[in-house]
Structure 1
């Protein structure tokens, strides 16, 4: 596989391993509802450190990752701030922010993204998917990095988002009217996107001319476009007509034996007179849904102009410039959620910006009574006053007086749309039937060559909130394990245990399995993990904190056929004695830095 090389890659390749664990510190007054680290989260802090902080609880548990990183246009003013111990990288820190004249801006972008993508990959579940929006500045480099991290075989699609509904008047050569959405699976063999709903016009193409008891069907082509070695036979129709195979005749897409097997099951259509080229009957009852396409139009997933208007209507800033400059439409992320989540999925956005992902998750839960959870990470100062504030207002409702409008359909009136006017009318009628009760009126208008359908609701004082809760967190001091025994840092039992459990097993700690009084953390793949620890320096220096023979026997007795890993400040029993007595216990000294596993 072709590999992407960039300046600084050798210094950042395993930098995610050197990033210290930092605990999540809740701020109850800034969230809504009780503190719950296993619920919705908004985290203020460097996203590299935040992702490392999430590993102990969420490694391998995130179902959908959506990120909208800096596009690196040269005009965003983003900074490279990673604490990489290399002279060249140190020089980069002095040249912030990164602008259009920076000859290394693409290298810096890759160096910034690489360790974050490594951690995101580790957080993603085996059946999860990863989505990232970009434009032409970095799409090609991102594709090569993701091929290297996820594996080229796990690339799923590159979707095109048509984000503007009119050309940019400032464009010099072409108006850039689209962005990209790269899609990768953790394992493409186990992941499939959800099927989309079918329209009435799609279903209307099915009929039942032969009164098949399985219901309506439509013919599917049996001919193969290209050579197929087992599809080179001739076919005799029920009427007696012979349809020649190659050379000069048809190739078929199924084996001959399969064709006649399907014919016996009445799944082959020969025409009413039995003289047609055969086709496969595809039954509507067996159609799962509509396969998603890679072209996403703004009338379906929103556009940039309306995304900013929506954000302004929620936050009511004194000046429009005070809000996030490039928010994504809720409809765009809703489309991702429709394709990539179910009612109980965990959704992560580590470049959360204006908080659109949380808004989309809350809307999705409202629609289907789901229990999706969001995790947002934002490092900028506006994490509280913009990102979290939007989430608060969307949950609780916000002051508003006037007509609240929600765009339900935007369709360009080209010749194709006019030719299928009946389909368009059915689409509008379906919207009215589905959403009419939610609004005071459904407005339909044609403007600038587009049909726009809008739901309008008169609001006198405030909008209705979507409901929900979230916990607002910052990042605590690093858990520097080699300083535990000096007393410089004494994290909580669960905080230290979560970090050690993940480092030892590469899995997230399940807080429900922890028994602090018994020094038990949990089990993975037949191995039980124990931590003899209390956040008390005098206790840590006492004999009570050591692994003894009797304690080892107690631990092993809980699961005699399993392996047991015991982390403790000291031990009064040798590994040799444990082996001689067939006690399946392995001692690991605390600090765990002496036993750190490199999983690169």
Structure 2
């Protein structure tokens, strides 16, 4: 901290920061139990998405195979308004404690410190979960905006800040302040490495496309007039060009021509006359003049900077200009004008035709989306999104009410439009979205709806603990229920049942619950169904962490077969028929081969067992508990495999 300050840097310091920075390194992974009755969809669909019920820091540590595999983290943490944020004082000494703690009231003098102590280790883990080109988009209001921004600057680096989005949460003034009515909240967007991250484009509107016409029946299709100059001038491209219609000399002013000189000459000659380079002694590079045209005797350089058009009656009335005008008007009348043209009548400034089929299939995200058209993606910086583009808070609540009914008690719902927009901008069409503060499940809903509308293939992981002390675990009663209903199309009605009333979005998810800390003793004392869950949820192959999802095999009649991967290779768990893991020997190997053939699976077969007595080139062996612990990020050289598990 001192080194940073002495070198001119800015450091955020608060009581307990040192401890908070180390907490995520002390959290141990936990056993995950699949709750089958809460899963939705086929086994293939369930393998794609998941809801995890449990403490989010412990969940992210447990998701070791997804570390470095997430494209976008989109999340809405508690805002520390005295109503929702909870802090467990025991986290300072034992970050593995699963309890949420008490609500931190506005009167608590240390409420900002507690909020930062809770957020810092989670932000560190979020960064670790992202791909090198991944992006974090985190919602916040003015209570902790500045503290969160400084923590993100410190963790991600100020240079990796992509945007501060100011979105309109309401469109009517409220009597919530005697000074200024609060109508906006914020989304802070940071890249793990801004040089690798990409910002997408919003979908084009019909209004944008209507600006493109085809006045000259150009076979390349509709086009619109665009400036023939660029705002980043290059000295060699700041010269005069002569109009083949009027003979006037046109300068780019303080700008530069958008095309190289060779291309400008080619486009000018498409109007039917030859052009040559001529030195006008105007302090600029050689001009492009009609061949044989008279050269102005004096051109005031000072005048050129203020007036980009120079007229000379003697030149304009010359036979060379008359002949050039005649040829140019023939091209104008015939149609399919050159890309560099001089207006509909030939009397205007040089302009460029921009074709609709060559522009990007979208629009650049700018303030209030009022931009016209751009050829390059711009950095969006600090932006404002009005409610027409981002939705508003009441629409988020109305959306939730329409799906699960009223009375859910969850009144901090972000609008679906806002989350869909963020996902569209910063998650690729086949990417993975993580939300460690899932709440009502808006992130998962947005992913499902985008997949349905655009036939994309995005996946989601949602983490939500809920409020068990109030008898309401949101992960089950709200997050799971909402996503189940948008997948199936079920909606509530006055008869308190849920008939299908909306278009089902399809897809599915797996519902997992975090239980006790995991170590070698825990693994070796698991029941068979518990161990199968751990194998299915933790397995990954070298180079295939996030993309190596196992599909559970539920059919009866198999003794050892428990799953398969996307390559249709079988996964087997050797169980000795009693209460413990068995070994791979000639007898169990024969059964594995038999079951693999029966299920139509490809080799090699992947076998989990306690010991390997028999070896075969057809089998990849995973030793229990070592391989399971390794898949959870535990290393026997620096982790205590035999640590006592809690209940």
- The normalised TM-score by structure 1 is 0.68
Q: Deviations over 1:306-359 (max 9, x none)?
A: 322332333334xx4x42021112222222233344554332222111122222
Q: For residues 94 and 179 of structure 1, what CA distance do their matches in structure 2 show?
A: 25
Q: For residues 518 and 492 of structure 2, what CA distance do their matches in structure 1 show?
A: 42
Which of 452, 455, 459 does residue 373 from structure 1 map onto? 459
1:112 aligns with 2:118: yes
Q: For residues 263 and 567 of structure 1, what CA distance do their matches in structure 2 show?
A: 74
Change (3 A) 1:347 1:545: closer
Structure 2 unaligned spans of 5+:
1-8, 271-337, 367-382, 467-472, 553-559, 566-572, 584-608, 640-647
- Of 283-292 and 391-400, more deviation after overlay is shown by 391-400
Shift of 1:159: 1.9
Change (3 A) 1:123 1:243: same
Q: For residues 591 and 197 of structure 1, what CA distance do their matches in structure 2 show?
A: 40
Which of 393, 396, 405 does residue 304 from structure 1 map onto? 393
Change (3 A) 1:315 1:126: same
Change (3 A) 1:339 1:305: same
1:25-64 alignment runs, 5 A limit: 25-33=33-41, 38-56=47-65, 58-64=66-72
1:271 aligns with 2:343: yes
Contact 1:132–1:182 under 8 Å retained in 2: yes
Change (3 A) 1:192 1:313: same
Q: For residues 448 and 476 of structure 2, what CA distance do their matches in structure 1 show?
A: 18
Q: Which has the larger radius of gyration?
A: 2
Q: For residues 28 and 353 of structure 1, what CA distance do their matches in structure 2 show?
A: 21
Q: For residues 492 and 551 of structure 2, what CA distance do their matches in structure 1 show?
A: 43
Q: For residues 216 and 95 of structure 1, what CA distance do their matches in structure 2 show?
A: 62
Q: Give the corresponding residue for 1:397.
A: 490
- Of 217-226 and 38-47, more deviation after overlay is shown by 217-226
Q: Deviations over 1:470-495 (max 9, x none)?
A: 222210211235x5699699984884
- Of 259-268 and 218-227, more deviation after overlay is shown by 259-268
Structure 1 unaligned spans of 5+:
403-458, 523-531, 559-563, 571-587
Q: For residues 498 and 385 of structure 1, what CA distance do their matches in structure 2 show?
A: 23
Contact 1:569–1:591 under 8 Å retained in 2: no
Contact 2:40–2:510 under 8 Å retained in 1: yes
Shift of 1:131: 1.6
Aligned residues: 496
Q: Give the corresponding residue for 2:275.
A: none
Contact 2:165–2:384 under 8 Å retained in 1: yes
Shift of 1:275: 5.3
Q: For residues 364 and 485 of structure 1, what CA distance do their matches in structure 2 show?
A: 39
Q: For residues 261 and 595 of structure 1, what CA distance do their matches in structure 2 show?
A: 70
Which of 637, 642, 646 does residue 595 from structure 1 map onto? 637
Contact 1:23–1:477 under 8 Å retained in 2: yes
Q: For residues 314 and 513 of structure 1, what CA distance do their matches in structure 2 show?
A: 29
1:70 aligns with 2:99: no
Shift of 1:272: 4.7
1:360 aligns with 2:446: yes
Shift of 1:397: 0.4
Q: For residues 264 and 105 of structure 1, what CA distance do their matches in structure 2 show?
A: 72
Which of 86, 103, 128 does residue 79 from structure 1 map onto? 86
1:464 aligns with 2:502: yes
Q: Deviations over 1:374-408 (max 9, x none)?
A: 32211112221222222233334023259xxxxxx
Shift of 1:187: 3.8
Which of 136, 144, 167 does residue 138 from structure 1 map onto? 144
Q: Deviations over 1:114-169 (max 9, x none)?
A: 22222222323344432211122222332332233334333222222111121012
- The normalised TM-score by structure 2 is 0.64
Q: For residues 148 and 50 of structure 2, what CA distance do their matches in structure 1 show?
A: 27
Which of 478, 485, 488 does residue 517 from structure 2 map onto? 478
Which of 179, 183, 190 does residue 185 from structure 2 map onto? 179
Shift of 1:82: 7.4
Q: Deviations over 1:486-543 (max 9, x none)?
A: 96999848847986979x98955835599xx9xxx99xxxxxxxxx999988979xxx
Contact 2:39–2:509 under 8 Å retained in 1: yes
Q: Give the corresponding residue for 1:416.
A: none
SS at match of 2:433: strand
Contact 1:311–1:323 under 8 Å retained in 2: no
Contact 2:86–2:100 under 8 Å retained in 1: no
Shift of 1:298: 1.6
1:346 aligns with 2:436: no
Q: Give the corresponding residue for 2:423.
A: 337
Q: For residues 19 and 471 of structure 1, what CA distance do their matches in structure 2 show?
A: 24
Contact 2:47–2:510 under 8 Å retained in 1: no
Q: Give the corresponding residue for 1:280.
A: 352
Change (3 A) 1:129 1:77: closer
Contact 1:27–1:472 under 8 Å retained in 2: yes
Contact 2:397–2:413 under 8 Å retained in 1: yes
Change (3 A) 1:258 1:153: farther
Contact 1:401–1:461 under 8 Å retained in 2: no
Q: For residues 499 and 540 of structure 2, what CA distance do their matches in structure 1 show?
A: 50
- Of 10-19 and 505-514, more deviation after overlay is shown by 505-514
Q: Give the corresponding residue for 2:603.
A: none
Which of 160, 176, 180 does residue 170 from structure 1 map onto? 176
Contact 1:195–1:291 under 8 Å retained in 2: yes
Shift of 1:41: 1.8
